[in-house]
Amino acid sequence: MDIKEYRKRLLATIHGHKKHKELKSVDCWGDWLHIRFGVESSAILSIKELKMVLDVMNGVSEDGENLSCDMVGRAMIERLKKGGKSDSGNASLKQKKSIVALWQQKARDKSKESMFRFIQTVTKKLFVSLEAMDSKEASRVIMAMNKI
C-alpha cells in the first residue's frame, strides 16, 4: 500500500469513528483539531498526526491541547498533493551541509532560528528542518546566501 492510500484509510477511519461523528454533529470538529494541531481540517495533517488523532479517539493516548505538530510530515503531504513523490527531489546532503556552512560563514546571527527565518523569506515556506526541503528550494537558498 502506498502512502496516499494509507493516508486515505486513516482519514476514512477517523471520519467513521464515533468520536468524530459526535464532534461533527455539534459542529466542533474544526475547533477540536485547531486546539490540538492548529488546523481546521484533518486533510492537512500528516500520517503521524492522523495516527495521534486515532490514538486519542480510541483512548490509547491522553487528549490535550497543543499535541506535537509534524511539520516535516505535513510538507511531505503537500508535496504528494502536488503530484511529487515523498522520497524524491529532497535536498541532497551536500546542499544541506552547504546551507549550514554558508550560514555559519556569512550570517551575523548564527542561530538556527535566524537561519530558518531567512529560509522562510527566500522560499515563502515555513521549515522546521532542512529534511523537508526539496532540491530546488535548497538551490534557491544557497544562491541567496551567496549574495549576502
Task: Give 109's DSSP letter.
Answer: S
- The grid coordinates listed for 87 are 522520497
In sequence order, which ranges of 42-106 are alpha helices (DSSP H)? 47-57, 71-81, 93-106
How many Cα atoms within 13 Å fall on the side-chain side of residue 99?
26
Q: How confident is the model at residue 87 (pLDDT cuts 50, 70, 90)?
A: very low
| CA distance linking residue 82 with residue 79, whole number of Å | 5
**What is the pLDDT at residue 37?**
86
pLDDT(1) > 90: no
Cβ neighbour number for residue 132 with a 10 Å cutoff: 20
- The grid coordinates listed for 74 are 505535513
Q: Give tens-digit pLDDT for 3-13.
A: 888 999 999 99
Q: What is the pTM of this model?
A: 0.57
Q: Rounded mean pLDDT of the chain? A: 87
